Structure 1
Amino acid sequence: MVATPLVPSEVEGRMSRSPEPRPSTALGTSEPKGKLTPNAPLAPLVWFKSGGAAEWLFEPKDVDDLSSFLADLDPAVPVMALGLGSNMIVRDGGVPGVVVRLGKAFAKVEVLDATTLRCGGGASGILVSSTARDAGVGGIEFLRSIPGTVGGFVRMNGGAYGREVKDILLECDVVLCSGERRTLPLDALGYTYRHSELPDGAVVVSATFRGHPAQPVAIQAEMDRIAASREATQPLRSKTGGSTFKNPPGTRAWKEIDEAGCRGLRMGDAQVSEKHCNFLLNLGKATSAEIEALGEDVRARVKAHSGIELEWEIQRVGVEA
């Protein structure tokens, strides 16, 4: 099974020509302005530090470059957008097709008025929330607690501390696999818990968020509260993927995992965190297969103990080795 998340990132794109002649016409005939790399290792780019390579890694120069590249791409070639890699297991066999990463050109945040921000798909939650604070825009503080970028927040209806993207999103701009650009309003996204109906392969290049007027000092106090809570409860400086499973209705995933006796459970170098047992850890040299197998073992134990079927929140992409 291959899951396909679309989580753009704030990384520095570098302009260059393709490093070697293309082996076929599947990627089209025109040369992109951004960087196109074959057989690019993904383990260094994701938080678990495991997994295989991307068949092709594309870092577009700008929206025009991304649109032109996708328009020239064979429709049969899979497209996946990669963000900060915090909510992802890249399987050990790697990712076929093209992985898109958005660089600095996509990481800008613009203040439109007293309550509204336009944010690039590669902008981090820290940048968005800090810009909102400086502009006196409240209600966006929760994005600071999510380790990712705007594209991923929009794709997954990211949320924390009682707020979700659906509470602040007005519209988003996307580039489809065909290269077509579209602006989608909130009601077109079909948001549910940690899910949207964005088309597969669509890359979110910007989003417009609306908060409410607030004093910067009050906004900073809320961000400090959130940061202190995360520091006290989550394994922030570990090789991890963030929250592993969605919270089931009426309960918390960590509580069900703990009560099923899984706190500290280990498979090779993959371990259930003892600090927060809805986090999986790579203690050293765990393979993606070990991390995913540990997650499935946790799901089975919780099912046997409580009858609850945990759903993966972490995206699992690529092919098995």
Structure 2
Amino acid sequence: MNAATPCVPANAATQTGFPPSRETIRGSVEAGGSLADFIWFRTGGPAEWLVRPADVEDLAGLLKTLDPSTPVLPVGVGSNLIVRDGGVPGVVVRLPKAMAKVSVEDGRVRAGAGAMGITVASAARDAGIAGLEFLRGIPGTVGGAVRMNAGAYGRDVSDILIEATVVTRDGAVETWPAARFGYVYRHSDLPAGAVVVEAVFSGTPGEPAVIGAEMDRIAAEREASQPLRSRTGGSTFKNPEGHKAWALIDAAGCRGLTRGDAQVSEKHCNFLLNLGSASSAEIEALGEEVRTKVKAHSGVTLEWEIQRVGVAK
């Protein structure tokens, strides 16, 4: 979920003068790297270049030497992402497992940006730190959660973040206090191309058993209400002020609506599904159809929460 960045224009150029020399990066560089292999929708075109840096220094060195005109898109597990069928120009960065470590220090949880929300919540539980339970309900990585101010069950990342380490597009490694992110609902001021590599979270003392029970409640509620075992992209639209997106979609008659193999979930209609062979174009077009129907029915304009990146085919 480390993909909350403005979508690339559909007519963007696709030649970037990459790859770097082996002296520039110690990690892996793959031309035409598949994104559909791990994006939750399991559809969409490839990355022009898929880069897996070895560590923070490797990533910083790459961004420092990369042509400033080359777009950079960090991607976690792709749980909140539509990758368009023409693929993503420039460099897509995926952090390695080495950058997914979680530790507890002085009552704070330090997490690599590649760590999953459930891993962070579990570490906090084991250390008797309450307040991070909601991360159990966020199916993405720390990096994406920090970038987009992810939230669930009444809490947001902005409520618990102390600071985060960021590699800027020019290769500088900086530590940003939470206030610098300028958080609002599902948005931060982190610029495109910058990559979150680590975050430090705070909580309050709690009993592991009580914390664990709350995490179990969240897991059970998600299982009962969301299509977790489907090819999906999480919550599709932001909740408008004073409304629930799913309720507006349902009221507009969109529950179960299909376009090709794309469907509005019948279980939770703020989720779009790939029933098998949907293209990204079909999924995105279905989302736009939902927006049109909701606007006509209620006068409310739904805003995309899922990030849409890349170029149309």
Q: TM-score, normalised by structure 1?
A: 0.92
Q: Which of the residues 244, 258, 266 maps onto 1:266? A: 258
Matched AA of 1:296: E
Matched AA of 2:158: K
Match of 1:88 in 2: 81
Write the mapping of 1:1-321 to structure 2, written as runs, cut at 5 A.
5=4, 26-29=18-21, 30-114=23-107, 116-321=108-313
Partner SS for 2:89 = strand
CA distance in structure 1 between the aligned counterparts of 2:290 and 2:134, rounded to whole angstroms:
28
Matched AA of 1:192: V
Gaps of 5+ in 2: 6-14
CA distance in structure 1 between the aligned counterparts of 2:166 and 2:117, rounded to whole angstroms:
19
Deviations 1:48-93 (A, max 9, x none): 0110000000001111111111111111100000111010000000
Match of 2:9 in 1: none
Match of 2:10 in 1: none
Deviation at 1:259, TM superposition (A): 0.3
Matched AA of 2:263: Q
- Does the 8 A contact of 1:27 with 1:74 survive in 2? no
- Does the 8 A contact of 1:28 with 1:74 survive in 2? no
Partner SS for 1:242 = coil
CA distance in structure 2 between the aligned counterparts of 1:103 and 1:142, rounded to whole angstroms:
24
Runs of 4+ in structure 1 over 3 Å off: 23-31
Deviation at 1:151, TM superposition (A): 0.3
Deviations 1:220-254 (A, max 9, x none): 00001101100110000000000000001101000
Identity over aligned residues, as a percent?
63
Matched AA of 2:219: A
CA distance in structure 1 between the aligned counterparts of 2:296 and 2:47, rounded to whole angstroms:
37
CA distance in structure 1 between the aligned counterparts of 2:117 and 2:44, rounded to whole angstroms:
25
- Does the 8 A contact of 2:102 with 2:120 survive in 1? yes
Taking only aligned residues, the RMSD between alpha carbons, in angstroms, comes to 1.4
Aligned length, in residue pairs: 302
Deviation at 1:5, TM superposition (A): 2.5
Matched AA of 1:75: P
Deviation at 1:31, TM superposition (A): 3.7
Q: Label 1:230 to 1:24 Cα distance change in 2 as closer, same or farther (>3 A).
A: closer
- Does the 8 A contact of 1:175 with 1:203 survive in 2? yes
